[in-house]
Amino acid sequence: MLRQVEGSKAVADAVAACAPEVICAYPISPQTHIVEGLSALVKDGSLKNCEFINVESEFAAMSVAIGASATGARTYTATASQGLLYMIEAVYNASGLGLPIVMTVANRAIGGPINIWNDHSDSMSQRDCGWLQLYAENNQEAVDLHIQAFRIAEEMSIPVMVCMDGFILTHAYEQVDIPTREEVKTFLPPFTPRQHLDPADPVSIGAMVGPESFTEVKYLAHQRMIDSLRKVQEVADDFERHFGRKTGGQLRSYRTEGADTVVLALGSVIGTLKDVVDELQLDGHSIGLVGLTSFRPFPFHALAEALKGAKRVVILEKAFSTGTGGIVTQDVVRAIEGMGIKDFTVIAGLGGRPITIASLREYLTNAMQENVERITFLDLETETIEKELSKERALR
Amino acid sequence: MSTTQIKFYQVGSFAVGNRLLREDERSVQSDPERTNALTSGHRACQGCGEALGARYALDAAMRATNDQLIAVNATGCLEVFSTPYPESSWRVAWLHSLFGNAPAVATGVAAALKAKGNHTTRVVAQGGDGATVDIGFGALSGMFERNDDVLYICYDNEAYMNTGVQRSGATPPAARTATTQAVGAKPGNVFGQGKYLPKIAMAHDIPYVATATIADLRDLEAKVERAMTMHGSRYLHVLVPCPLGWGSASCDTIKIARLATQSGLFPVFEAINGEVVASSKIRKKVSVEEYLKLQTRYSHLFSPQRNDEVIDHLQRIADKNIERYELMGE
Amino acid sequence: MFQVRIHGRGGQGVVTAAELLAVAVFNEGKHAQAFPSFGSERTGAPVIAYCRISEHEIRAREPIMEPDALIVQDASLIKQIDIFAGLKTGGFVIVNSTENADDLLIAEKLKVLTTLAILPATEIAMTHLGRPVPNAVLLGAFSALTGVVSLEAVTDAINEKFKPKVAAGNVAAATAAYEYVMNQVASNA
What does A65-82 look like in DSSP terms, one character per residue?
HHHHHHTT--EEEEE-HH
Domain of C48, in residue numbers: 2-188
Q: Cα separation of B255 and B44, whole Å? A: 19
Predicted local confidence at residue A188, as pLDDT = 98
pLDDT at C45: 85
**Residue B12 confidence (pLDDT):** 58
The tens place of each residue's pLDDT in chain A, 396 residues long, gives: 899 999 999 999 999 999 999 999 999 999 999 999 999 999 999 999 999 999 999 999 999 999 999 999 999 999 999 999 999 999 999 999 999 999 999 999 999 999 999 999 999 999 999 999 999 999 999 999 999 999 999 999 999 999 999 999 999 999 999 999 999 999 999 999 999 999 999 999 999 999 999 999 999 999 999 999 999 999 999 999 999 999 999 999 999 999 999 999 999 999 999 999 999 999 999 999 999 999 999 999 999 999 999 999 999 999 999 999 999 999 999 999 999 999 999 999 999 999 999 999 999 999 999 999 999 999 999 999 999 999 999 998
pLDDT at C112: 86
Q: Where are the domains of chain B?
A: 23-324
The pLDDT value given to residue C43: 77
Average pLDDT estimate for C134-154: 96
For residue A19, the chain B residue with the least C-alpha distance is B115
Question: Distance of alpha carbon B297 from its chain centroid, rounded?
Answer: 19
User: Would you call B105 and A73 a contact, using CB atoms and an 8 Å cutoff?
Assistant: no
Q: Which residue of A has its CA nearest to B72?
A: A67
Q: Inter-chain contact C35–A168, Cβ cutoff 8 Å? A: yes
Q: Which CATH number is correct for A2-243, 3.40.718.10, 3.30.930.10, 3.40.50.970, 3.10.20.30?
A: 3.40.50.970
Strands B269-272 and B275-279, sheet pairing: antiparallel
- Counting as low any pLDDT under 70, the low residues of chain B are 7-17, 330
Give the model's pLDDT for residue B56. Answer: 97
Q: Tell which A residues from 33 to 72 touch C, by Cβ distance under 8 Å.
A: none
For residues C148 and C20, what is the distance between their CA atoms, to the nearest angstrom? 14
Residues A317 and A295: beta-carbon distance below 8 Å: no
A361 in reach of chain C (CB within 8 A): no
Print burial letters for C131-150: b (CB count within 10 Å at least 16), e (below 16).
eebbbbbbbbbbbbbbebbe
pLDDT at C41: 59
| β-bridge mates for residue C91, sequence order | C114
Record: contact A89-B141, CB cut-off 8 A? no
Q: Which residue of B has its CA nearest to A90?
A: B98
* Chain B residue nearest residue A202, CA to CA: B93
pLDDT of residue C108: 82
Whether the CB-CB separation of A326 and A345 falls below 8 Å is answered with yes
Side chain identity at residue B311, one-letter code: I
What is the pTM for the complete model shown?
Answer: 0.93
- For testing contact with chain B, the best of A26, A103, A197, A198 (most B CBs within 10 A): A197
Alpha carbon distance B314, B299 (integer Å):
14
Q: Which pLDDT score is estimated for B104?
A: 98
Domain ranges of chain A: 2-243, 252-383
- Cα dist from B163 to A348, B201, B238, C29, whole Å: 45, 26, 20, 66
Closest CA to C10 of C133, C174, C177, C121: C133
- Return the higher-pLDDT residue of C46 and C50: C50
B80, B97, B106: residue with CB nearest A93: B97
Whole-angstrom Cα distance, residue A282 to residue A301? 30
Measured between alpha carbons, how far is residue A64 from residues A155, A343, B1, B94, B105 in Å? 21, 43, 68, 15, 5
- Picking from C47, C62, C65, C160 by the largest number of A CB atoms within 10 A of its own CB, the best residue to mutate is C62
* pLDDT value of position B9: 59
User: Which residues of chain B lie closer than 8 angstroms to A199, CB-CB?
Assistant: 67-70, 92-93, 121
CB–CB contact B111 A90 (8 Å): no
Nearest to C155 by CA among C132, C134, C172, C130: C172
**Is the N-terminal amide bond of A30 cis, ω within 30° of 0?**
yes
| DSSP character string of B107-170 | HHHHHHHHHTT--S-EEEEEEEHIIIIIITHHHHHHHHHHT-S-EEEEEE-SSBTTTTSB--TT
Which of these ranges, A125-129, A143-147, C97-101, C175-179, has the smallest mean pLDDT? C97-101
Cβ contact A358–C58 (<8 Å) = no
Q: Tell whether A88 is within 8 A of chain B (Cβ).
A: no
**CATH code (residue C26):** 3.40.920.10
Task: Please give the Cα distance from B108 to B75 (Å, whole number).
Answer: 17
The answer to whether B150 and B125 have CB atoms below 8 angstroms apart is: yes
Name residue A335's amino acid: A
Query: In CATH terms, are A2-243 and A252-383 the same topology?
Result: yes
Chains A and C touch (3+ CB pairs under 8 A): yes
A164, A173, A176, best to mutate vs chain C, most C CBs in 10 Å: A173
Distance from CA of A73 to the nearest CA of B (A): 5
Chain A nearest-CA distance from B29, in A, is 20
Side chain identity, residue A187: F
Overall average pLDDT of the C59-74 stretch: 96
CATH assignment of A252-383?
Answer: 3.40.50.920
What is the CA angle A339-A341-A344, rounded to 5? Answer: 145
What CATH number should be reported for the domain whose range is B23-324? Answer: 3.40.50.970
Query: Residue C31 and residue A269: Cβ atoms within 8 Å?
Result: no
How far are the Cα atoms of A200, B72, B226, B233 from residue B272, in angstroms, in the given order?
32, 24, 11, 11
How many Å lie between the alpha carbon of C103 and the closest alpha carbon of chain A?
A: 34
Total domains, chain C: 1
Q: Does chain B touch chain C (at least 3 C-beta pairs within 8 Å)?
A: no
**DSSP 8-state symbol, B32:** T
